[in-house]
């Protein structure tokens, strides 16, 4: 599989203000790529550049191999991209069906394919029964579902979702997240702008943290490991000095006793290191109840990286 999105040094300035600076990253086909960042970090501007809605100031980017700079390619890029903006922006005086029908025509979907697509998507999102009602009468969750259907109706290869679960009730948010996972199963590339770290952790293969420029890119696990390394926690009946010394004796220098019943060990590769550690502790008389990995949350990772980017100590 190749790269669905490639960006190299992508920069956007509005007058004297730099909205986005020097973004270099790539998103593989079929990947769910999370874009995290505080308000004003440049997430929406990045999506708008990639969707050919605003021009870049410098750098280059391609969508499905097509350059966003090439004016002749831009309509084709827009056709290959589905966009769910932060504000759903439905025509509230039109029904859900009429909204989709209009956008399907604007994307040049043939009649039969458009009708089939509208039925499939509205049924999948649970809006089919209300398809003839004006979207102005819909709840936020229902509007969001119609907007998701609109973004997918023309069968795009790349889908940009800007805060897709913001302001949704838990049930609608879950439906939306499940649908994003379905998109991944279908092999679509999903570019997910979100503030919701839990959502990013659950859905994304890789995450980029943005604060005007890229702060970090990697899988949630890689980002955690890059900041904290990996830590094995041995839950013991009683944490003893002898057990800690036995672990240090294996060459693991960072060993901490916590709460009198745990040993926290910095490891390079838990799969390879844990059996030896457990064996050494047992030989030193330690009674191991169970072993876990200490996992800082994505929120910890995010906050540390963003504060670092802001220059905090």
Partner 1 sequence: MRLSKAWILTRKEFAVFRRKKYILYSLIALPLLLSLLLPATVFFSGAASEMSRAELGQILSSEVMIFVMLAAILPTVIGAYSIIGEKVEKSLEPLLATPATDGELLLGKSLAAFVPSVGATYAAIALFTGFVDANTSSRFGYVLFPDWSTAVVVFLTVPLACLFSVQFSVIVSSRVNDIRAAQQLGGLVVIPLVGIYAVAEAGVVSLDPFGLLVISAILLAADAALTVLSRRTFRREEILTRWK
For partner 1, the binding residues (CB under 8 A) are 14, 48, 51-55, 75-76, 78-79, 81, 83, 85, 87-94, 98, 102-103, 105-108, 134, 147, 150
User: CB of 73: closest distance to partner 1 in angstroms?
Assistant: 11
> Looking at beta carbons only, is 56 or 206 nearer to partner 1?
56
* Residue 91: CB minimum distance to partner 1, A: 6
Q: Is 261 exposed, middle or buried (0-12, 13-18, 19+ CB in 10 A)?
A: middle
**Nearest residue to 189 via CA among 298, 59, 50:** 50
Cα–Cα distance, 224 to 295 (Å, whole number): 7
Are the CB atoms for 27 and 191 separated by under 8 Å?
yes
C-alpha 274/C-alpha 138 separation (Å) is 54
Quote the least distance from Cβ 64 to partner 1, whole Å.
14
Neighbours of 9 (CB within 10 A): 13
Which one, 95 or 232, has the nearer CB to partner 1? Answer: 95
Spatial distance between the Cα atoms of 213 and 210, rounded to a whole number of angstroms? 6
Least distance (Å) between residue 139 CB and partner 1: 17
Question: Taking the complex as a whole, how short is the minimal distance between the CB of residue 21 and partner 1, in angstroms?
Answer: 17
Query: What is the smallest separation between the CB atom of 278 and partner 1, expressed in angstroms?
Result: 55
Alpha-carbon distance 187 to 124, whole Å?
Answer: 17
CB closer to partner 1 out of 134 and 227: 134
Q: 154 near 79, Cβ under 8 Å?
A: yes
Q: Which CB atom, from 150 or from 206, has the smaller least distance to partner 1? A: 150
Smallest distance, Å, CB 119 to partner 1? 20
Kindly state the smallest distance separating residue 289's Cβ from partner 1, in Å. Answer: 55
Residue with smaller CB distance to partner 1, 158 or 243? 158
**In this complex, which beta carbon is closest to partner 1, that of residue 55 or of residue 297?**
55
Residue number with CB closer to partner 1 (150 or 304): 150
Please, which residue, 89 or 275, has the CB nearer to partner 1? Answer: 89
């Amino acid at each position: 599989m190749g790269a669905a999105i490639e960006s190299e040094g992508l920069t956007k300035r509005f007058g004297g203000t730099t909205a986005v600076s020097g973004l270099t990253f790539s998103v593989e086909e079929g990947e769910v790529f999370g874009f995290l960042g505080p308000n004003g970090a440049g997430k929406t501007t990045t999506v708008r550049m990639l969707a050919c809605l605003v021009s870049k100031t410098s750098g280059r980017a391609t969508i499905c191999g097509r350059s966003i700079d090439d004016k002749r390619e831009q309509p084709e890029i827009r056709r290959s991209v589905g966009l769910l903006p932060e504000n759903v922006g439905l025509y509230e005086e039109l029904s859900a069906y009429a909204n989709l029908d209009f956008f399907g025509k604007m994307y040049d979907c043939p009649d039969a394919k458009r009708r089939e697509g509208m039925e499939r998507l509205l049924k999948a999102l649970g809006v089919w029964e209300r398809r003839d009602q004006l979207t102005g009468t819909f709840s936020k969750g229902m509007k969001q579902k119609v907007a998701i259907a609109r973004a997918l109706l023309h069968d795009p290869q790349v889908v940009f979702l800007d805060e897709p679960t913001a302001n949704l009730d838990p049930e609608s948010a879950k439906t939306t997240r499940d649908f994003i996972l379905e998109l991944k199963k279908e092999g679509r590339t999903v570019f997910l702008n979100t503030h919701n770290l839990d959502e990013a952790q659950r859905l994304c293969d890789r995450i980029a943290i943005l604060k005007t420029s890229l702060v970090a890119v990697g899988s949630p696990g890689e980002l955690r490991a890059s900041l904290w390394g990996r830590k094995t926690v041995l839950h013991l009946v009683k944490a003893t000095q002898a057990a800690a010394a036995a672990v240090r004796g294996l060459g693991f220098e960072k060993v901490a006793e916590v709460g009198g019943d745990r040993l926290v060990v910095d490891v390079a590769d838990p799969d390879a290191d844990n059996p030896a550690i457990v064996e050494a502790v047992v030989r030193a008389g330690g009674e191991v109840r169970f072993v876990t990995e200490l996992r800082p949350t994505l929120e910890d990772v995010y906050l540390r990286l963003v504060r670092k980017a802001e220059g905090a100590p």
